[in-house]
Amino acid sequence: MEKITSLAKRRGFVFQSSEIYGGQGGAWDYGPLGIELKNRISQAWWKEMTQLHDNIVGLDAAILMHPRTWEASGHVENFTDPLVDCKKCKARFREDLIPAENLASRKCPDCGGDMTDTRKFNLMFKTNIGAAEDSANVIYLRPETAQGIYVNYKNIVQSNRMKIPFGIAQIGKAFRNEIVTKNFIFRTCEFEQLEMQFFVKPGSDEEWFDEWRKRRWAYYEKMGVRMDHLRWQQHGSDELAHYAKDAYDIQYLFPMGWRELEGVHNRTDFDLKRHTEYSGKDMQYIDQDGGNERYIPYIIETSAGLTRTLLMILCDAYDEEKVADKGNDDDWRTVLRFHPSLAPITVAVLPLMKKDGLAELAQDIRRELSEDFATDYDQSGAIGRRYRRQDEAGTPFCVTVDYQTKEDGTVTLRFRDSMEQVRIHKEELAVRLHREIKAYTRG
């Protein structure tokens, strides 16, 4: 993880928030390459969930919601972490993450000091809305995006004439007052969620639950993730959330071990029933194709963190490869093997020399390619060093412009993964790159 963190800062993926003031714990800023990667991940997910499904639509709900929302959802009462403190070193731990032997002896796993009794800590950020700071004006920063979907469910049914089964997808910010934040951007106080809530008829929920497990697994395969680094983990009866009938996590083998990447949950009709109770509004669906039968839909949820997915993509792409050349047996390169559709830079254009019109010719080629691809331009240093810089950024293709380009219009196209180089005409570049991206498989 130290190598990932170092590379992320060096190449402009992720910076510590407010670093010049010593940093803000649990918060991170995304640099030029980081925001490009984050946007591409969210775009890929959005396309998968909405563009490729006729019965899934999108939503962007407000971050500030009526406080009764969180009473209905159970967050005010149940959204807590059990915390203990060390009386000696003052470290703070979540009780469920402390080794069993330390928990039994009430000894700190770091220094061996005595630990305090367990206390509950609510993870929601609380603030005030309006001029007066009193209990009547308390409001919360949303700890999840799902509730914004549930409270808009009837609006979407009526405005878009949706028929069950159908889904509502949302990408949005969520906030949790995490006391223990570590492992880089894996667990943070401010993050973005990729959530889709799929509304189904009661009795068909188990079938749809299995179907969405298959679809979400296939999605990661499509994105070029190493599938031997993924696994399913079912929640035991003692682990299930109060709203869940069944739940599975897709776990990824991060540098710190197997950790949750995405959850697929059968939430039953819990959420819509609770909002019916707390709001007094009828949340029943009227099945006009089924004799006007009325029922509260069951919900199948797929939920992933965008920033956690970004960390997974970084870890999965990271590679160190020995590339002995010209008798140098200790020549290594660091490379990020992003799927080309996710890479922050798709193609870099590199003039062999700055002079003799090569730089101007390379800039012309870059301008042509930038209509269809994310491009970069680099004319500084030896060509080999420039290739290595692009490898570190995860750029799948490099185009080198040289003196032969001036003669016959051909350029050198270099492939990141294999380092193979081919000569093609510059007019063929766009078509060739589109074809290579579509056919890409990770070796």
Which residue, among 57, 175, 173, 61, has the nearest Cα to 123 in the 3D structure?
Answer: 175
Quick one: pLDDT at residue 94? 79
pTM of the model: 0.88
Quick one: pLDDT at residue 342? 96
CB 257 within 8 A of CB 229: no
Quick one: pLDDT at residue 327? 55
How would you classify residue 280: left for phi > 0, otherwise alpha for psi between -120 and 50, otherwise beta? Answer: left
Using one digit for the tens of pLDDT, what is the confidence trace for 38-59? 999 999 999 999 999 999 999 9
Measure the CA–CA gap between 89 and 84, rounded to whole angstroms: 12
Quick one: pLDDT at residue 135? 63
User: Going by DSSP bridges, is the β-strand pair 125-128/190-200 parallel, antiparallel, or unpaired?
Assistant: unpaired
Quick one: pLDDT at residue 378? 95
Quick one: pLDDT at residue 141? 94
Measure the CA–CA gap between 335 and 415, rounded to whole angstroms: 12
Task: Spell out, as residue ranges, where the chain has pLDDT lower than 70.
Answer: 79, 134-136, 179-181, 324-330
